[in-house]
């Protein structure tokens, strides 16, 4: 597989090593190793084979997402109180996310990245789901930590009633949004520090709709670029229309202003698009100033698509 990817012209491979189910697909001492990998470390083999052919490897961690079935998650097994919560009329409703406001959540995810950067011959770390749980309601997570912090910041309770009128224009929305984004940014900064010490980089998959990503998801990725705490940005440009790929990419490039390379992520998942549309998307991204593209994912690739890629 490594040789095939290199022959297709790819420079970087992003293998998922911590999925949303919490299991670790490498020999972790921080998390729980997925059953079946006890005698074989797929990340070690992939990283070594990638190095042999000049292919960079950025292991991919799904950071804050944690499925409600927590069997594979060391974090949720040991700290169920750190799960994001939505308050409903029927009581607290657990969400499929760990809440970044909990220190133990931030520490756990940094530790996952640190052990990979330290113990494997990889060139960087890839952060996905590096955001809040995406409640898309102003109150967001309502766990005890979030409620206590909001009460301290505003003197109000963390309910929809705290955001009168147009919720995103309410005064209480300001400190909450900034505080939530800061929890996410802390993890990005700490992972980048760990990577930089080892001469390695950090890439991040980010929402395409900045600044909505900032106030809906706590994902302040333009600031990350200008603060130098990421080395690549991969905005998830999952849209069929090549003209929209171009427009969005123009926005990314204008906001980042050359601070870091921008590679739009294009969705070629299980042949969901024609080769012609995908190549038109790539051409549109490059025309708009992209430094490269990321194609999601390997299972969708074909020899026909690979031949088309070689024309770029």
Instruction: List per-residue pLDDT tens for the chain, 312 residues long.
Output: 899 999 999 999 999 999 999 999 999 999 999 999 999 999 999 999 999 999 999 999 999 999 998 899 999 999 999 999 999 888 899 999 999 999 999 999 999 999 999 999 999 999 999 999 866 677 899 999 999 999 999 999 998 788 888 887 889 999 999 999 999 999 999 999 999 999 999 999 999 999 999 999 999 999 999 999 999 999 999 999 999 999 999 999 999 999 999 999 998 765 678 889 999 999 999 999 999 999 998 888 888 888 888 888
Dihedral angle over CA of 163, 168, 169, 171, nearest 10: 50
Residues 202, 58: Cα–Cα separation, whole Å: 8
- The pLDDT value recorded for residue 270 is 54
Q: What structural domains and CATH numbers belong to the chain?
A: 2-233 (3.20.20.80), 237-312 (no CATH)
Residues 14, 147: Cα–Cα separation, whole Å: 36
β-pairing, 60-62 vs 201-207, is: unpaired
Tell me if residue 289 falls in helix, strand or coil. coil
- The pLDDT value recorded for residue 96 is 94
Query: If phi over 0 gives left and psi between -120 and 50 gives alpha, with beta otherwise, what is residue 278?
Result: alpha
- Which residues pair with residue 233 across a beta bridge? 204, 262
């Amino acid at each position: 597989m490594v040789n095939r990817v290199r022959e297709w012209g790819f420079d970087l491979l992003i293998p998922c090593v911590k999925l949303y189910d919490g299991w670790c697909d490498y020999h972790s001492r921080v998390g729980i190793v997925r059953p079946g990998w006890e005698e074989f470390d797929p990340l070690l083999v992939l990283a070594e084979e990638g190095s042999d052919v000049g292919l960079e490897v950025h292991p991919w961690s799904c950071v804050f997402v944690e499925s409600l079935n927590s069997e594979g998650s060391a974090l949720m097994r040991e700290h169920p109180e750190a799960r994001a919560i939505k308050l409903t009329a029927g009581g607290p409703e657990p969400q499929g996310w760990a809440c970044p406001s909990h220190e133990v959540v931030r520490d756990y995810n940094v530790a996952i990245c640190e052990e990979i950067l330290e113990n494997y011959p990889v060139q960087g770390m890839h952060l996905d789901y590096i955001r809040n749980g995406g409640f898309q309601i102003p109150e967001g997570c309502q766990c005890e930590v979030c409620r206590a912090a909001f009460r301290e910041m505003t003197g109000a309770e963390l309910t929809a009633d705290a955001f009168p009128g147009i919720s995103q224009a309410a005064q209480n929305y300001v400190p909450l949004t900034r505080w939530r984004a800061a929890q996410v940014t802390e993890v990005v900064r700490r992972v980048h520090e760990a990577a930089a010490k080892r001469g390695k980089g950090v890439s991040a998959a980010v929402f395409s709709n900045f600044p909505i990503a900032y106030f809906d998801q706590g994902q302040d990725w333009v600031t990350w670029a200008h603060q130098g705490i990421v080395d690549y940005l991969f905005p998830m440009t999952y849209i069929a229309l090549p003209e929209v790929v171009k427009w969005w990419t123009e926005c990314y490039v204008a906001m980042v202003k050359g601070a870091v390379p921008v590679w739009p992520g294009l969705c070629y998942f299980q042949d969901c698009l024609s080769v012609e549309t995908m190549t038109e998307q790539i051409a549109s991204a490059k025309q708009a100033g992209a430094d490269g593209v990321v194609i999601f994912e390997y299972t969708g690739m074909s020899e026909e698509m690979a031949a088309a890629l070689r024309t770029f």
